Structure formats: C-alpha cells, structure tokens
Amino acid sequence: DIQMTQSPSSLSASVGDSVTITCRASQSISRYLNWYQQKPGKAPNLLIYGASSLQSGVPSRFSGSGSGTDFTLTISSLQPEDFATYYCQQSDSVPLTFGPGTKVDIK
Amino acid sequence: QVQLQESGPGLVNPSQTLSLTCTVSGGSISSNTYYWSWIRQPAGKGLEWIGRIYTSGRTNYSPSLNSRVTISVDTSKNQFSLKLTSVTAADTAVYYCARAQTPGKPFDSWGQGTLVTVSS
C-alpha cells in the first residue's frame, strides 16, 4: 500500500494569510495526487487533481504543485470559508489512500 | 450534474451485515468512463477507501477489508451497493459513495454520506 502523510496536522492562520500544506507519498506516484477540502458534516470536495490542475469552480487562490513523492497545496490569501480540513489522496494505484488530513482553523 | 445518494440502515447489530446502496441520478451508471467507490470516515478521523466497481462488474477492494466486502452494481436501477459482513463497533462511520473518471482520476462527485452505527 502507498502510505500518505501530511504536515502539519493542524495550523492556525488569519484571514488573508498564505498557507501551505505538504503531502508525502511513501513511493513515487508521478502526479496522481489530489486534494480535497472537507467541512464539518459535509462530504469532501475536490479542489486539485493531477497534482496541480484546478477543479472547475474552485477559486484560483488554491494551487497545487509537486510530483513523485512530495506535493504541496497552497492557499493564498485565506478566506473565512477556507477554514476546513484538507486531505491529499493518491490515485496512482489501489488501494487508494488518503493522507490523515490537515485542519486549518482561525487564529 | 450527477448526484449520488446513499441509503440504508443507520444501525446494525454487531456480527451482522452492513448493507448500503448508492443511487446515481443525472447520469448513467453504465458509462464505461467511470468507476464507483465506497469510502468511509469514523467520527473525528480520516477517510478510508473501501473499494470500487466498474460497470463491467470488475472490482477492487482494500486489502484490510477484502475478506468482508462485496460491492455490486445494478445498472437497471442506476445503483451500486456495499455489503460488509461481520461488523464490529470499529465499522461505525459515515459511509460515502463517490465517482471517479477512470483509474488515476480523482473522486469528482460524492454522496452526502450516511452514518452507520454498529451497536446492539
């Protein structure tokens, strides 16, 4: 199985801040890396796929980068609606696996 | 815009079988370009992929659940289903169904999730 790790596990930030979350795969997954946002009581919502492609309808302040084993999600100018938990997920091979999540809350 | 909706019992007795159905609307489940997954999330914890099915009937399961899981599809009803046998309290979670466009692609549509509690 491909293990996914994320750092940090949580962070506090203010509206307007730039935030970066890191995801690491236990082996190379090329660019088969996706990012989701989840708010309490809701299903995850796709933000970024293929490491850096922005899903339709997702604000451009979200961006992704990386390949191989190391990836990042950046939120520039954090907005109130961005406070949520973020998960990375590898779609390179089964079993499909998710990172443990990064909770972004208000400072 | 495709929509997915989970349904099934919210309470299951220990050692029994958990059965859930995902109904797909706004699109055909028979499309060969998609596969259909089940994912679960215990309260306060992360996401765990359970398995997936193609409309051909081909399946992939998580090794950790493989011996207890069956995913099936009913194209006539535009539904796919999950059965998880011999459940314990550790199977208590919100269960989501989700769609991905071919292997390698992300989950681009999700159901709202349904809470299943395993308890007597």
Residue B58's pLDDT band (cuts 50, 70, 90): very high
pLDDT tens column, B36-51: 999 999 999 999 999 9
Mean residue pLDDT of chain B comes to 95
**pLDDT value at residue B56:** 86
Contact A99, A87 (CB under 8 A): yes
> Does residue B32 surpass a pLDDT of 80?
no
Residue B102's pLDDT band (cuts 50, 70, 90): confident
Picking from B1, B41, B47, B102 by the largest number of A CB atoms within 10 A of its own CB, the best residue to mutate is: B47
Query: Between A and B, how many residue pairs show a Cβ–Cβ distance under 8 A?
Result: 59
* Dist CA B7 CA A39 (whole Å): 21
* Dist CA B4 CA B11 (whole Å): 21
Contact A43 B113 (CB under 8 A): yes
Contact A46 B108 (CB under 8 A): yes
Interface residues on B facing A, Cβ-Cβ cutoff 8 A:
37, 46-49, 52, 60-64, 96, 98, 100, 103-108, 110-113
Residue B80's pLDDT band (cuts 50, 70, 90): very high
What is the percent of chain B with per-residue pLDDT over 70, rounded to a whole number?
A: 100
**pLDDT value at residue B107:** 98
**pLDDT value at residue B41:** 98
Which residue, A104, A107, A86, A87, is CA-closest to A10? A104
User: Backbone phi, then psi, for B39, in 5-degree steps?
Assistant: -140, 145
Secondary structure (H, E, C), B26-57: CCCCCCCCCEEEEEEECCCCCCEEEEEEECCC
- Length of chain A in residues, anyone? 107
- List all residues 6 or more positions away from A74 whose beta carbon is below 8 Å from its beta carbon: A18, A19, A20, A21, A62, A63, A64, A65
Q: Which of the 8 DSSP states describes residue B91?
A: G
B18-25: strand order across its sheet: B3-7, B18-25, B79-84, B69-74
Query: Region B79-87: what's the mean pLDDT?
Result: 98
Tens digit of each residue's pLDDT, chain A (107 residues): 999 999 999 999 999 999 999 999 999 999 999 999 999 999 999 999 999 999 999 999 999 999 999 999 999 999 999 999 999 999 999 999 999 999 999 88
